[in-house]
A and B are shown apart, each in its own frame.
Chain A
Amino acid sequence: MSSKTTPLHFNAFVMNTASHIHHGQWRRPDAGQTEFNDVNTWIDLAKLLEAAKFDAMFFADVSGLYGDADADFDVYVTEGLQIPSNDPTVLLSALAVHTEHIGLALTSNVAQNHPFNFARQLSTLDHISNGRIAWNIVTGVQDNGARNFGLPKLTDHAERYEWAEEYVDVTYKLWEGSWDDDALIKDRERGVFSDPSKIHKIHHVGKRYRVEGPHLPSPSPQRTPLLYQAGSSESGRRFAARNAEATFIIAPSPAIAAELIADTRRLAVSYGRNPDDIKFFQGLSFVIGDTQEEAEAKALEYEQYVSVDGYSAHSAIVDKTGRVYAADTPLKDVDTNTAKGFVEWVSQHITDREPIVADLALSRSRDTRIVGTPESIADTIAEWQAAGVDGINVINWVIPGSFAEFADKVLPVLRARGLAQSEYSEGTLRQKLFGQSLINDRHPAARYRGAFSDGSPISQTYVEPIEAKS
């Protein structure tokens, strides 16, 4: 076993909206997230994060409202719970020009854009940012989101991942196979900008998509952006094991994270990849004090802003008509379709009084929360690393305060222990994480390199996901 400490990676987990994860906190006097429509909110934050050597800004996104698409949406709108929210894609370009090193990750659902145009957008961003783009591949969790794209409801879970497999397959063909490395000649004398023999149509024919190509942009620094995935279901993990280079997990404890990580790494190996081809990022939020007492007092103060309705709505603690329960509703009267296990778990842990809905919200707000001094927080982070985690997605209470505080107080301690980087290493986002700019040869995208160069139409190249060997 090596005694040398490896620095962890740190991402800022954010969303282009007022109430992302910690609902109710937008009411704090120091909450800048209410100004999310203003580009300067994000430019200032990006600069702050880059000065603190954060690895990336990770933008979550949705394509509709949470909850029952037939019920009223009052609670989401009232809470500012991811509505109003703006598109992250176009925002990243503004951030790219105001920064040099920090990675920029965006979330995009396979339903929201056609893969031909989406692949072009990401290549454009990768050009603009000099290779700092990551894509968090999601398949959607919202019925309302599906209805915004012409579907009656969310597509069945397994089918969504099958859809996603074809979607990424189209993008891999465009990113990796359509243009050879030396296709751009830029020969002024002969008037030849690109060499046509080195650019190829992809002729994708699959269940949902038929895409001819060629890809319109020339190869960007990373070609395929760094690929994130965040699903934790069985099909989600299989998808991650096959396609993701980084996954975002919210495990309740280091021990559970360790199991999840080992399991996903095993799956990755069964798909012909190496165990460390995937990096794991745990989501955590922090309440930081100079003493433990100060930190505890601050945590209590944050809790005063907790919105019970917001956490209930986000975790689908709703009645049969899709409405949230009053905060003082006893848990024994809560009847929910989707969060039964959680309700039972909270009920079992409160034994001295009648557990109520507000307890659920408080429990949710404490889920990923680490309260402590910089030293004790660093201890906890080291425990997560020991469990196999490669990085932390820092979940915020307020923008920019939560990140500024983490940068000022915790990062120096982590650096002193070798747990956080002091300087950026050179190169693209993938180079910084994996030591090379292009996706490695074991990844399914790599098989399209040179695959279309004989000029013959390669149709029906879509292959069903390989079943993992158990």
Chain B
Amino acid sequence: MTVAPKRLILNLFEMNCVSHITHGLWRLPENNRQRFNDIDYWIELARLLEAGGFDAVFLADVIGAYDVFRDGPETALREGLQIPSNDPLLVIPAMAAVTKHLGFGVTFSTSYEPPFAFARRISTLDHLTKGRIGWNIVTSYLPNAARNFGHDDQIAHDRRYEIANEYLDVLYKLWEGSWDDDAVIADKENLAYSDPGKVRYINHVGEHFSVAGPHLSEPSRQRTPVLFQATASKAGAALAGRHAEVVFTGGPTPSGVQKSIAEMRAAAAANGRGEDAIKFIVQAGIVVGRTDEEAHEKLRLYKQFSSIEGRLAHASLPFDPTGHPSEITVGEALRREGKADLPFAAFLPVDQTIGDFLVTIDESWDEQFFVVGTPDIVADAIESWLDDVGIDGINLRQYHSFGTAQDFIELVVPLLRERGRLRDAYVDGETLRERLFGGEPRLSEPHVATRYRGGKNLDNPLPPLTLTPQL
């Protein structure tokens, strides 16, 4: 008996800005990235991805500027590094209006904005798209973001995850508990649009939020959007174990990724969820050509346009290696900047020379989940990531918009289909959750969100996620 091969979840990694990940490359000939303010960019992209069989477009976001490197946002601004950037939620209805199947994974932070308006916005999007919405849960890591929302500095890392847990609890009550499925009756004869016996306040009162409800939107197809989470940290794993359906993760080595997957599976199991309750996706860099030479020529061009300063600023590197002689060590450079004793120094290769350090960063192209070559080589690599590393899908990194997606669609998608790794066509009317998991459009038990169905447990809050020492 043969087992059907594991199917690839195929997302395009995007952000509503010029320079998302591959800094400097916006200057490539015919790169469309500069058009991100223009809604036609997003419409063309959505049509392309749907014609090419992509599952979803995954929209990253930040709500601040990268201003750690060189103590200010200047480098980020010069690079167009995630600034200027626009809101990601708002391009979705435009993309949804020109597609039928393409899913959307959209990033929104749980740290700074009240949950009530967000819950309604997501329900509205799920209605507008007929169930094609996923939400990428993040807690925000930029210090400038914190200062845009009234804080002196970032909320402590683990604390942010505790807040996220309560934030999710409020959302579940609104999405799952506030309205019954049959609450909207639209009974014209007896004048009853909704049945008040099937709609309820949530009256959430917690440590961070107090929200009365009822939810203003009626239940959408998925109710709770597909829950993505981008994390590799311990606190993140604890949150994911309880909540996430798809985790966007990474790590320096395949075994690191496997370890992180195992950790999150264990966390899911500890929450009574099945071993395969969570699917894992990674960011993949793929440079494909009809021939090996063609692929490597593309890579050469990409490297030529690549900006190391963009990478240094993106990494929020708290010192400036470009301002030091290449032969001194990173440790010496830190000493010269008076930063040798700061906590981040422990994470840097202090014995490496500045020259080698910069080369390492410049060549971080060749990190894992990176492949350059013919369609066969690429398809082989993807199969190995699926079967040997154990991931379930990729967020395809863009070097060129729309060249990267076009190449993948033209050269790789047909092969993956041949090998049973991608479906041949979309299923009409399918929600994003059904596409990714089979089964139902809505979350199923034992996911914690389901505890509020029918208004149960609204007065019995989810236990807090305790990650920081309690006083």
**The one of B92, B150, B196 that contacts A209, using a Cβ cutoff of 8 Å:** B150
CA distance A96 to B39 in the complex (A): 9
Q: Collect the chain B residues with CB atoms within 8 Å of residue A217's CB.
A: 37, 84-87
Binds B, one of A72-80, A313-321, A344-352: A72-80
Contact mask for chain A residues 92-103; partner B; CB cutoff 8 A; 1 contact, 0 none: 111011100000
CA distance A96 to B37 in the complex (A): 13
B112 nearest in chain A by CB position: A114
Shortest beta-carbon distance from B139 to chain A in Å: 15
Contacts A94-B128, A97-B43 given; does A73 touch B214 at CB 8 Å: yes
Q: Does A117 contact B (CB under 8 A)?
A: yes
Shortest beta-carbon distance from B221 to chain A in Å: 10
Q: Which of A71-116 contact B (CB under 8 A)?
A: 72-74, 77-80, 83-87, 89-94, 96-98, 112-114, 116
Shortest beta-carbon distance from B431 to chain A in Å: 15
B62 nearest in chain A by CB position: A216
**The one of B34, B63, B89, B116 that contacts A216, using a Cβ cutoff of 8 Å:** B63
Q: Collect the chain A residues with CB atoms within 8 Å of residue B19's CB.
A: 193
B125 nearest in chain A by CB position: A90
CA distance A6 to B93 in the complex (A): 36
Binds A, one of B184-192, B295-303, B319-327, B390-398: B184-192
Binds B, one of A58-66, A292-300, A401-409: A58-66
**The one of A62, A86, A216 that contacts B83, using a Cβ cutoff of 8 Å:** A216
Q: Does B271 contact A (CB under 8 A)?
A: no
Binds A, one of B52-60, B204-212, B253-261, B417-425: B204-212
Q: Does A186 contact B (CB under 8 A)?
A: yes
CA distance A112 to B209 in the complex (A): 13
Contact A90 B84 (CB under 8 A): no
Binds B, one of A147-155, A258-266, A415-423, A430-438: A147-155
**The one of B37, B97, B112, B307 that contacts A117, using a Cβ cutoff of 8 Å:** B112
Contact mask for chain B residues 123-135; partner A; CB cutoff 8 A; 1 contact, 0 none: 1110110000000
Q: Collect the chain B residues with CB atoms within 8 Å of residue A193's CB.
A: 18-19, 26, 77-80
**The one of A69, A73, A85, A94 that contacts B93, using a Cβ cutoff of 8 Å:** A94
Contact B196 A74 (CB under 8 A): yes
Q: Collect the chain A residues with CB atoms within 8 Å of residue B213's CB.
A: 148
CA distance A199 to B188 in the complex (A): 56
Q: Which of B364-407 contact A (CB under 8 A)?
A: none
Contact B37 A37 (CB under 8 A): no
**The one of B84, B87, B125, B214 that contacts A65, using a Cβ cutoff of 8 Å:** B214
CA distance A410 to B113 in the complex (A): 45
Q: Collect the chain A residues with CB atoms within 8 Å of residue B89's CB.
A: 89-90, 121
Contact B127 A37 (CB under 8 A): yes
Contact mask for chain A residues 122-158; partner B; CB cutoff 8 A; 1 contact, 0 none: 0111011100000000000000100111100000000
Q: Collect the chain B residues with CB atoms within 8 Å of residue A114's CB.
A: 112-113, 149-150
Contact A96 B94 (CB under 8 A): yes
Shortest beta-carbon distance from A409 to chain B in Å: 27
Shortest beta-carbon distance from B145 to chain A in Å: 9
**The one of B117, B121, B212, B217 that contacts A144, using a Cβ cutoff of 8 Å:** B212
Binds B, one of A18-26, A244-252, A328-336, A379-387: A18-26
Q: Does B114 contact A (CB under 8 A)?
A: yes
Contacts A112-B114, A192-B78 given; does A64 touch B90 at CB 8 Å: no
CA distance A112 to B194 in the complex (A): 25
Q: Does A353 contact B (CB under 8 A)?
A: no
Contact mask for chain A residues 180-205; partner B; CB cutoff 8 A; 1 contact, 0 none: 00001010110111111001000000
Shortest beta-carbon distance from A50 to chain B in Å: 15
Q: Collect the chain A residues with CB atoms within 8 Å of residue B83's CB.
A: 194, 214, 216
CA distance A127 to B189 in the complex (A): 45
Contacts A116-B149, A184-B84, A195-B77 given; does A27 touch B16 at CB 8 Å: no
Q: Collect the chain B residues with CB atoms within 8 Å of residue A189's CB.
A: 27
Q: Collect the chain A residues with CB atoms within 8 Å of residue B307's CB.
A: 191
Contact A93 B94 (CB under 8 A): yes
Shortest beta-carbon distance from B302 to chain A in Å: 14
Q: Does A212 contact B (CB under 8 A)?
A: yes
Contact B196 A73 (CB under 8 A): yes
Contact A199 B214 (CB under 8 A): no
Q: Does A34 contact B (CB under 8 A)?
A: yes
Shortest beta-carbon distance from A154 to chain B in Å: 12
Contact B77 A90 (CB under 8 A): no
**The one of B27, B64, B113 that contacts A113, using a Cβ cutoff of 8 Å:** B113
**The one of A69, A78, A123, A179 that contacts B193, using a Cβ cutoff of 8 Å:** A78
B108 nearest in chain A by CB position: A117
Contact A216 B150 (CB under 8 A): no
Q: Does A39 contact B (CB under 8 A)?
A: yes
Q: How many A residues are at the interface, by size bracket?
A: 35 or more
A38 nearest in chain B by CB position: B127
Contact B124 A91 (CB under 8 A): yes
For B16, B91, B93, B112, the residue with the greatest tally of chain A CB atoms inside 10 Å of its CB is: B93
CA distance A93 to B74 in the complex (A): 31
Shortest beta-carbon distance from A82 to chain B in Å: 8
**The one of B34, B179, B193 that contacts A26, using a Cβ cutoff of 8 Å:** B193
Shortest beta-carbon distance from B303 to chain A in Å: 14
B37 nearest in chain A by CB position: A127
Shortest beta-carbon distance from A184 to chain B in Å: 7
Shortest beta-carbon distance from B399 to chain A in Å: 16
B144 nearest in chain A by CB position: A212
Shortest beta-carbon distance from B232 to chain A in Å: 25
Contacts A120-B87, A148-B211 given; does A16 touch B124 at CB 8 Å: yes
Contact B199 A124 (CB under 8 A): no
Contact B214 A83 (CB under 8 A): yes
Shortest beta-carbon distance from A358 to chain B in Å: 14
Contact B77 A196 (CB under 8 A): yes
Q: Does A210 contact B (CB under 8 A)?
A: yes
Q: Does A43 contact B (CB under 8 A)?
A: yes
Q: Collect the chain B residues with CB atoms within 8 Å of residue A343's CB.
A: none
Q: Collect the chain A residues with CB atoms within 8 Å of residue B191's CB.
A: 24, 27, 78-79, 307, 309
Shortest beta-carbon distance from B46 to chain A in Å: 10
B212 nearest in chain A by CB position: A147
**The one of B65, B96, B113 that contacts A94, using a Cβ cutoff of 8 Å:** B96
Contact B94 A128 (CB under 8 A): yes
Shortest beta-carbon distance from B305 to chain A in Å: 8
**The one of A39, A72, A196 that contacts B74, using a Cβ cutoff of 8 Å:** A196
Shortest beta-carbon distance from A325 to chain B in Å: 16
Q: Which of B291-323 contact A (CB under 8 A)?
A: 307
Shortest beta-carbon distance from B71 to chain A in Å: 12
Shortest beta-carbon distance from A106 to chain B in Å: 11
CA distance A24 to B211 in the complex (A): 30
Contacts A27-B191, A147-B210 given; does A87 touch B124 at CB 8 Å: yes
B310 nearest in chain A by CB position: A191
Q: Collect the chain A residues with CB atoms within 8 Å of residue B176's CB.
A: none
Residues of B within 8 A of A (CB): 16, 18-19, 24, 26-27, 34, 37-39, 43, 63-65, 72-74, 77-80, 83-87, 89-94, 96-98, 112-114, 116-117, 120-121, 123-125, 127-128, 144, 147-150, 179, 183-184, 186, 188-189, 191-196, 199, 201, 209-214, 216-218, 220, 307
Contact sample, A vs B, 11 pairs, CB 8 Å cutoff: A39-B128, A64-B216, A73-B196, A77-B196, A78-B192, A79-B193, A90-B128, A93-B90, A117-B63, A123-B86, A193-B77
* Besides A84-B179, A93-B93, A129-B39, 4 new A-B residue pairs in contact (Cβ under 8 A), listed by A number: A63-B216, A93-B94, A121-B89, A211-B150
